[in-house]
Structure 1
């Protein structure tokens, strides 16, 4: 089942809120880790792992290294889920 970019962004936002323990994180496709309080290198790994688990996918190290913002993360999810 193909998901919309908005639905994936909403899922990612929920995961970020859960990992950081902060409700109401405002995210757009342009949001970067630097834009979100508490999103550091350790929580970044936790967020990526949670996204992988949610979608039952596995990102390569180079994919993770190339992520620039939430939009590029959505692109990576879509590549792995056939979207």
Structure 2
């Protein structure tokens, strides 16, 4: 099982690479509005990278229900058990 810190560390690396911004610091409340370039296309790229990095599969309905990074962390945490 992954810890929240491990998930945040992995997601931060994904976000920094995807959005080419080493200053990104994710929190539970981070949303697409907080990250320059986080549009629907990059959202799918980020989800795909997260699925690969954490060995989880995230369904379309689950993706649509995500409103912030905290929701994604909770979902990955639940699926990694």
TM-score using structure 1 length: 0.90
Q: Report the count of equivalent residues.
A: 81
Unmatched 5+ stretches in structure 2? none
Moved over 6 A (4+): none
Q: Secondary structure at the match of 1:25?
A: coil
Asked whether 1:61 is paired with 2:60, we answer yes
Q: State the match for 2:15 in structure 1.
A: 16
Deviation at 1:80, TM superposition (A): 1.1
Deviation at 1:7, TM superposition (A): 2.1
Deviation by residue 1:25-63 (Cα, 9 ceiling, x = unmatched)? 021111011111111111110000000011121101110
Deviation by residue 1:60-82 (Cα, 9 ceiling, x = unmatched)? 11100000111100111012101
Unmatched 5+ stretches in structure 1? none
Higher RCO (C-alpha under 8 Å, 6+ residues apart): 2
TM-score using structure 2 length: 0.92
- Residues 29-68 of structure 1 mapped to structure 2, 5 A cutoff: 29-68=28-67
Distance in 2, matches of 1:12 and 1:18, equals 10
